[in-house]
Amino acid sequence: MSEHIAALVRQLAAVERDERRAATDRLVALGAPAVEHLLPLIADGEGTRRSAAEACLERLGAAAIEPLRRVRSEGPGRLRPTALRLLASVGGADALAPADRAAVERLVRIKLLDETPGDLPAGSWLAVPRAEVQDIVRALGLHDARPVTTALGVSAAVHEENSLDHRCADGTTTTEYRVFITPEFDGWRLVYGADYLNDNWAQAVEKLSARCREAHFYAVDEHNGARVWWVAENGQDKRGYRTYGDPEWVGEPMEFERDLMQDEDDELYDPEEAEEYAEGVRDPEEAASWISIQPTAVEVLDRVGHGWLAVTSPDVGHGRFRGALEI
């Protein structure tokens, strides 16, 4: 059996794609015995074979968990870090042994003592001024909020799996999410959750503004050329822009927008600028720079506290979400 598996592993480097695909399928069909042969490729390999080996282990899923746990406990030592990463990737924190989970939690506590957050993503985010974490948690109906580094929070809520299907006791299925609340930067907290905001941003900004008096939403979709920015106060829409919205604009221009608008009598009249701002500001990051904070500038802002990672259901813990998170 070992010689057969070794031959299939070598075939992962075949020139022909069909040969590589056939080897992958056969290794996956073999299940757990293939894991020990694939791990060295991921730890030490390069290029095609490494990518193919990772794909095999991801497809093996739960079947790979016990062999990976054995590597964590028994070695060889050089494969232990790779095994830990793969356990998180295929099974989430629930796949880790208690000792590994405890070690990760200790590392997070240590990192929180001297964390220096870098710039934050500018894909989609909520912004809330002067808000306590518990108010954001209650407004959005979040659960199990726990302290995390900013790197971990962004990794969990944006870059790795941040939504999953959950089968309820009554037989129905819901979609549940991970949500990251940042430290406070110059009086603002930002809220991230790639899938959560994609599915729920309108309700989220309304609920946050109802509880926290004011909330903003910003989104930049480079793939579709879409831009959105929205301001709500006391549960009501105040001002908003959506590239593909119907209507495109909501509410009256805000003061900063009126300052950018020009007419032909302005001393510094610029036809291109006048056309760009005729109806208001379209760019979310530009709007954020005027009325809240830019995620790409938080590194130079005053910071208070740390971030929090939460989930949207009390029945879905953090451990079910897959992905090796940064710390």
Mean confidence (pLDDT) of the chain: 91
pLDDT band at 267 (very low <50, low <70, confident <90, very high): low
d(CA 103, CA 97): 10
Confidence check: pLDDT of 307 > 80: yes
Confidence check: pLDDT of 1 > 60: no
Lowest-confidence range among 69-83, 118-132, 223-237?
A: 69-83
What is the average per-residue pLDDT within 75-95?
Answer: 89
**Percentage of the chain with pLDDT > 70?**
97
* pLDDT tens digit sequence for 2-43: 788 888 878 877 778 888 888 888 888 888 888 888 888 877
Burial readout 1-15 (b: 16 or more C-beta within 10 A, e: otherwise): eeeebeebbebbbbe
Token representation of residue 166: 């959950």
d(CA 207, CA 224): 27
| pLDDT value at residue 157 | 98
pLDDT band at 45 (very low <50, low <70, confident <90, very high): low
**Higher per-residue pLDDT: 48 or 137:** 137
The pTM is what?
Answer: 0.90
Confidence check: pLDDT of 46 > 70: no
Give the Cβ contact number of residue 317 at 10 Å. Answer: 14
Confidence check: pLDDT of 85 > 80: yes
What is the average per-residue pLDDT within 306-321?
Answer: 95
* pLDDT tens digit sequence for 233-255: 999 999 999 999 999 999 999 99
Cβ distance 304 to 70 under 8 Å? no
Most confident of 41-45, 136-140, 313-317: 136-140
The amino acid at 269: Y
Confidence check: pLDDT of 135 > 60: yes
Confidence check: pLDDT of 130 > 90: yes
pLDDT band at 269 (very low <50, low <70, confident <90, very high): low
What is the residue extent of each domain of the chain?
A: 2-91, 115-320
Q: Which of 188, 178, 176, 285 is nearest to 228 (CA)?
A: 285
| pLDDT value at residue 19 | 85
Tell the residue number behind the tokens 């002067």, with chain if given: 130
| pLDDT value at residue 18 | 84
Q: What is the CATH number of domain 2-91?
A: 1.25.10
The amino acid at 106: R
pLDDT band at 264 (very low <50, low <70, confident <90, very high): low
d(CA 100, CA 163): 24
Pairing of strands 236-242, 124-129: unpaired
pLDDT band at 53 (very low <50, low <70, confident <90, very high): confident
Contacts by 225-231 with C-beta closer than 8 Å and gap 24+? 227/282, 227/283, 227/284, 228/201, 228/284, 229/281, 229/284, 229/287, 229/288, 230/201, 230/202, 230/205, 231/291
* pLDDT tens digit sequence for 147-192: 999 999 999 999 999 999 999 888 899 999 999 999 999 999 999 9
